[in-house]
Amino acid sequence: MMSGCKHFDVAIVGCGPTGATLALLLAHYGVRTIIIDKALDIYPLPRAVHFDDETMRIFQNAGVAETLEPYLHVNAGMRFLDQKEELLLDWPRPQEVTSQGWHASYRVHQPDLEKILRHRISETSSIEMYLGAVVDAIKDEGDQVHFRIHDVALKTPQAFSADYLVGCDGANSFVRQILDQEMEDFGFQQRWLVIDVILKSDMPQLGEYTLQYCDPQYPMTYCRNPGLRRRWEMAISDDLSDEAAQDHNRIWSILSKWITSDIAEIERTAVYQFRSRVARRWRSGRVLIAGDAAHLTPPFMGQGMCAGIRDVANLGWKLASCLARGHDDILLSSYEAERRPHVTEFIEMAVKLGELICSENPKQALESFGSANVSDSAMKSLSPALGESSLTEAMGHSQPLIGTLFGQPALRNGRKTDDIFPYQAILYSSVPLKESLFHVVSERESLQIGKMLESLKSDSVLIRPDRYILKLCYQRGETLELAMDQNIRNWFV
């Protein structure tokens, strides 16, 4: 490595949605961040097409939700159909705003999202973007990380250092390779063809729902995306070449049941290996991984991008705390401990859904789901608790709600609490507090607080910057003690 290099607080490898969101969350704490990406510009074609209300709430905390909202389509839900195209399983998504303050499910055109994220980054003085460059060497020196960047065009090496480096560099992550981390395989691996089309005019007959065709011969997915964009995905055999699979004559023949080349044009085709894997370790010293670098999920729940965004919401405030108060190995270890079991639950369900779609006997496959996931042919949305960590253990295992996601109450003035206290810890209390080390929101500020606390049978609740419950208090004395607890306050900037 070169000497005399420029230093940052955090280096992020990869400027996709995961890396860009992490940079914006860190900016709330004034963290000096460099974000490096090998591409000079945003990939212009569709990739990720879905995210949920928790993810939208994180985008709100990153400062982009209001700008992003007009580009989104609220998703009606997902339906699984058998070989006769009769309803096998329904997963309706509520059309009203949820407790998170947003709709339960959104469809997105990823380039729109990335443009908004990068524009916000360009307005943020604490973030530097370094595009058209690759990181080709990383060395953790114990007290900081040294890394080298090669400019793709000029081939000019430059050396940098950072207190922490986070790899958000996708499924083929260089950072994960540097960590020498193998991935645990959950057994699902299939080749699928993805076809993105743009309609020449609206076709309401195609429907608002995502449709999963559970046919062992021709497993297929239909997605209603924003505007005139639509997507079909279909399983393909291993003996079919990528070139043959993407032949437009073949594709139009398959799609002729729904559309023809007279009424739509193909925007993009791609062959993917859908995989189900999780890295065995997400951190070594001051180097960490997030998003697809840490885990890969089949797309049947639409949770791939959501998982990466949750990763960085969990990680960002912990990095900021370490930068402000000194390196805390226990705090950083809680990142993988909390996120790995959480994302694994989503991956395992996505694998089940993938097996259902491809099953010779879908009805029999559905019976294996159990009542916790399916009731009366309707699927329940997952909202698992965080895995147990040093943080959740410190708060006591006797409180089962610790580590679960908390809602976002509206204030009396109509604003949302996260707009007032973005990406910060908040103490919600049944009554105002005269003294507190935390931001306090009480019934004086929000009519909803009383009902939310009553449903938890608690006097107050302390939530983390990532909006998961850290501590519940059931008596007034406990709340007063928590409000002035310096040890807990030290976890937050």
Residue 140 sits in a domain whose CATH number is: 3.50.50.60
Name the residue range of residue 116's domain.
6-71+104-183+277-345
Considering the domain architecture, whether residues 428 and 333 belong to the same structural domain is answered as no
Side chain identity at 481, as an amino acid letter? E
Q: Scanning the structure block, which residue is given the tokens 């996260």?
A: 418
- As a whole number, the mean pLDDT across the chain is 94
Q: Would 269 be classed as within a structural domain? A: no
- DSSP letter at 51 equals E
pLDDT of amino acid 375: 77
The crossing angle, in degrees rounded to 10, of helices 329-358 and 304-325 is: 180
Is the pLDDT score of 72 beyond 80?
A: yes
Q: For residue 242, report the phi and psi dihedrals to the nearest 5 degrees.
A: -60, -40
Q: Hey, CA dihedral for 252, 256, 260, 263, is it positive or negative? A: negative
| Number of H-type helices and E-type strands within the chain | 15, 25
Answer yes or no: is 251 within a domain: no
Domain shared by 314 and 423, yes or no: no
**Same domain as 440, residue 305:** no
Q: Which residue has the higher pLDDT, 460 or 154?
A: 460
Per-residue pLDDT reduced to its tens digit, 304-347: 999 999 999 999 999 999 999 999 999 999 999 999 999 999 99
Q: Is residue 338 part of a domain?
A: yes
pLDDT in tens, 421-461: 999 999 999 999 999 999 999 999 998 999 999 999 999 99
Q: Considering the domain boundaries, does residue 174 fall inside one?
A: yes
Beta bridge partners of 440: 427
Domain count, the chain: 2
* Helices (H), ranges, 28-72: 53-62, 65-68
Specify whether 320 is located in the same domain as 469. no
**27: nearest Cα among 111, 116, 135, 117:** 117
Q: Residue 273 pLDDT more than 90? A: yes
Domain boundary among 313, 345, 377: 345
- Domain co-membership, 65 together with 132: yes
pLDDT of residue 70: 98
- Structure tokens that stand for 407 in this block: 């809602």
Is 445 domain-assigned?
Answer: yes
> In terms of domains, do 146 and 283 share one?
yes
Answer yes or no: are the C-beta atoms of 334 and 391 closer than 8 Å: yes
Instruction: Let me know whether 331 and 396 are in one domain.
Output: no
Where among 315, 345, 375 does a domain terminate? 345
Is there a domain that residue 270 lies in?
Answer: no
What number of other Cβ atoms are within 10 A of residue 266's Cβ? 15
- pTM of the shown model: 0.96
212 pLDDT higher than 90: yes
The letter for the amino acid at 489 is: R
Residues 320 and 400 in one domain: no
pLDDT at 191 over 60: yes
Is 58 part of any domain? yes
| Closest C-alpha among 433, 444, 412, 434 to residue 462 | 433
* Whether residue 307 is found in the same domain as residue 419: no
Percent of the chain exceeding pLDDT 70 equals 98
* Structural domain contains residue 10: yes
| Those residues with Cβ within 8 angstroms of residue 313's Cβ, 6 or more apart along the chain or in another chain | 21, 25, 58, 61, 423, 465, 466, 467
